[in-house]
Structure 1
Amino acid sequence: MTDLSLPLSGVRVADFSRVLTGPFATMLLGDLGADVIKIEPPGGDDTRGWGPPFQVGEGGRESSYFLSVNRNKRSVLLDLKTPEGLDAARKIVAGSDLLVENFRPGTLERLGLGWDDLHAAFPRLIYATITGFGLSGPYRDRAGYDVVAQGMGGMMSYNGDLGGRPLRVGVAVADVFSGALVTQAVLAALYQREKTGVGVRVDVNLLESVIALGSSQVGRYLATGEVPVPVGNDHRSIVPYGTVQCGDGFVNIAVGNDALWRRFCAALALTELGADARFATNEGRVTHRAELDVLMLGGLAAYTRQEVMDRLDVAGVPCGPVNDLAEVFADPHVQARGVAVTVPHPTLGETTVTSPPWRFGGEALPVRRAPPTAGQHTAEVLAELTAGP
């Protein structure tokens, strides 16, 4: 796939964002073909110093955290506190379709780079703002971080094991999901601009993203008033659905309906369970979850993990192993899909990153640029501004 055939070829993004939410969003836009200009302060994005771990090469070292969310971008170092830096930033914005920022509310306004000023000057510009709590409300000016949003949005209250302490999800889901929502929103805004000729401001925040991510848990509360509690790897409304223990390890299963339940029992020769009227329907299995868990544990103890998966695969019952990341990237399917891509890097020699998570017309989207070093493209981009269109 050539650069010109990429979906967002010709779209330019002025990326003022830092750390994770904004950089994840702009990375996805870069994956889709946009020219993402990552505008960093003189010291670089904070995450350049987040480590260990660092990847080390002959030309220096790079934070693995930074590398994970900054492929397909160009880096420009600008000091927005100087007239020269501010002028260059404004010129980059003038040639851009999108601006993405995640400063505290009011920061860019004080520099003359806020929505009102830029919309007046560049009415086609789409302006995406990412905050902890939104652009209105009592918490408007509070700083937002993933762990704070997971707690305030309720996620930590229903994540983890029953009776355990509140537990953060092991990846920054508030940041990542917010970033994905930003990407979705600005794509819609680009489409809307084709009809109206005018850009809009997009407002995404971590708190509401976490609440939205709660989906069925939130829906259950709104429908019943019942406050969800942690249930470990089980599902509150589907049984069995989650992690089951075999003779030598754990397997995830998804018995999403009664027909799958019958096939599950037949595949593993769980004759008594299959004939037990208490478990014939999903409602019955949810009601009698504790009894079923005890009986199922005894029945599955006779099988290895691989035996359970082999039998369920033949029966068409969704299942899969609980992998660590070494097992994930050793998986032949993951390898066949090209999920890990090794690309040249100016200081490391080469680095391995994940590939863009979509295919268009059956083709994988390329990693056109390795995550940039700090200011790698400053001279290049400033020369483009001088040269003009």
Structure 2
Amino acid sequence: MTVQSHWQDALDAVDGAPRRQGPLRGVTVLDVTRVVAGPYCAMMLGDLGATVIKVENPAEPDYARDFPPFVGAGGDRFSAFFAQYNRNKLGITLDLKSEEGQELLRELVRRSDVLVENFRAGTMDRLGLGFEALREENPALVYTAISGFGQYGPSSRKPAYDNSGQATGGLWSMNGYPDREPVRVGTIIGDLSASLYAAFGTVSALREAERSGVGQLVDVSQQDAILSLTETAVVDYTVGGRVAGPLGNDHPFVRPYGLFPCKDGHVFFGGYTQKLWRESCELFGAPELVDDPEIATMEQRFEEETYQRRVKPIVEGWFATRTKAELEAIAGDRVPLSAVKDIGEVVRDPQIAAREMVVDVDYPGGAVGIFGLPVKLSETPGDPRAQAPAPGQHNDDVLGAALGLSAERLAELRERGVI
């Protein structure tokens, strides 16, 4: 048996380890990340079958473990936040500031395919564990680095959070209402989008490494990720000099297309094309409006003054006396009309249930309902139903049974705080 096959067999044999299925089975990922930008990337790789080994500092594990909400109490208390982003992982501890911890990571790198880290640019280099150093250990290593501003450039060494990406990538300035101060997007879109791009880049680089035997650095920044989400803002500025600003719930030119109040909340309605406007007029009992000479064409309805004076009041009149459910029933499959749902309504949505986008995972303190895997593969599906590890839960399995350290050696490393 080769060293590599023993390694994979030993990882697969870990008691209680996530079930290995999906197209990435056989790929080993070292997850040297924390919070969300990084853990989310590695989680997606794990959901799709990769063996993900989460590496945490023994004295200071991922501080997302202390983020609410919590399940259970006492020794069974566990962060549901952490559980959601760290499912499908084995957990080990290493002090990467110690020489022995660094050497153990190098040993792991020699047997792994991917390493994901999300420290500030330069941090891993100072530890002797940056891309150039680790590629000496494993030339085929895919080294994925997620950071606020990337691995080079004048801002690369700056500290950053999700809000830093929203601020410097332009999105924050575009969100909200034009007569108020800008509003951040109501989720950690910088962390999440950077993780998504990192997962895509990792799989792309892994494909090349499998083909050529040459690994590479996958460099993803939150600022870059956010900028790529700003739709037409860049070309509006480079072509026409227009600086994008907050639009509230309006589209810059397409109308009717946006948020509308109804009897028990709000709906999104997008009946702006000729076909969809005609369908809408018929569905809501106003077929005569199709040929109304003032609003008969898309160009007429897009015009701001005409929209505000004629079109918007018509649509608001259609919706005002009906509930979200009634409006969705009327629209059916004919026009785009969707209830604006709170998260409770989303979790109970039969479409979400059909797609298995909320799944329960059992923990000693109780079940945790987490979001599922959005990528649905017909032949080799992934699986999000797996626990997140406790700090160092799999030290004996990964560092002992798989890597070959003796029980005495493991006990010594524990005693000195290396693991």
Normalised-by-shorter TM-score class: over 0.9
* Secondary structure of residue in 1 paired with 2:72: strand
Q: Which moved more, 1:165-174 or 1:327-336?
A: 327-336
Q: 2:62 aligns with which of 28, 45, 50?
A: 45
Change (3 A) 1:278 1:197: farther
Structure 1 residue 303 corresponds to structure 2 residue 339: no
Normalized against structure 2, the TM-score is what? 0.86
Tell me which residue corresponds to 1:154. 170
* Secondary structure of residue in 2 paired with 1:99: strand
Change (3 A) 1:279 1:224: farther
Aligned pairs (5 A) from 1:1-389: 5-42=21-58, 43-51=60-68, 53-57=69-73, 59-271=75-287, 273-288=289-304, 289-291=307-309, 292-313=311-332, 316-345=334-363, 347-361=364-378, 364-367=381-384, 369-383=386-400, 384-386=402-404
Task: Say whether the 8 Å CA contact 2:262–2:323 is kept in structure 1.
Answer: yes
Normalized against structure 1, the TM-score is what? 0.92
Change (3 A) 1:281 1:67: farther
Change (3 A) 1:8 1:243: same
Runs of 4 or more above 4 Å deviation:
2-5
Provide the alpha-carbon RMSD of the alignment.
2.1
CA distance in 2, matches of 1:236, 1:387: 62
Q: Alpha-carbon deviation of 1:154?
A: 1.2
Q: Alpha-carbon deviation of 1:349?
A: 4.5
Task: Say whether the 8 Å CA contact 2:80–2:368 is kept in structure 1.
Answer: no
Q: Which amino acid aligns with 1:300?
A: F
Task: Say whether the 8 Å CA contact 1:22–1:101 is kept in structure 2.
Answer: yes
CA distance in 2, matches of 1:318, 1:179: 30
Q: Which moved more, 1:32-41 or 1:65-74?
A: 65-74
Deviations 1:73-115 (A, max 9, x none): 1111111122222222121111110111111122111221111
CA distance in 2, matches of 1:308, 1:352: 30
Q: Alpha-carbon deviation of 1:226?
A: 1.3
CA distance in 2, matches of 1:4, 1:18: 23
Task: Say whether the 8 Å CA contact 1:18–1:46 is kept in structure 2.
Answer: yes
* Secondary structure of residue in 1 paired with 2:77: strand
Q: Which amino acid aligns with 2:390?
A: T
CA distance in 1, matches of 2:273, 2:314: 19
Task: Say whether the 8 Å CA contact 2:361–2:368 is kept in structure 1.
Answer: yes
Count of aligned residue pairs for this structure pair:
384
Q: Which moved more, 1:77-86 or 1:167-176?
A: 77-86
Structure 2: tracts of 5 or more residues without a match: 1-17, 407-419
Deviations 1:116-173 (A, max 9, x none): 1111221100111111111222111101211121011111111112312111111101
Q: Which moved more, 1:161-170 or 1:279-288?
A: 279-288
CA distance in 1, matches of 2:117, 2:247: 37
Task: Say whether the 8 Å CA contact 2:253–2:302 is kept in structure 1.
Answer: yes
Task: Say whether the 8 Å CA contact 2:120–2:157 is kept in structure 1.
Answer: yes
CA distance in 2, matches of 1:232, 1:266: 29
Task: Say whether the 8 Å CA contact 1:105–1:140 is kept in structure 2.
Answer: yes
* Secondary structure of residue in 1 paired with 2:245: coil
CA distance in 2, matches of 1:304, 1:155: 33
Q: Which moved more, 1:292-301 or 1:325-334?
A: 292-301
* Secondary structure of residue in 2 paired with 1:228: coil
* Secondary structure of residue in 2 paired with 1:327: helix
CA distance in 1, matches of 2:379, 2:211: 29
CA distance in 1, matches of 2:384, 2:323: 40
CA distance in 2, matches of 1:212, 1:163: 25
Q: Alpha-carbon deviation of 1:195?
A: 2.6
CA distance in 2, matches of 1:218, 1:148: 19
Structure 1: tracts of 5 or more residues without a match: none
* Secondary structure of residue in 1 paired with 2:232: helix
* Secondary structure of residue in 2 paired with 1:36: strand
* Secondary structure of residue in 2 paired with 1:124: coil
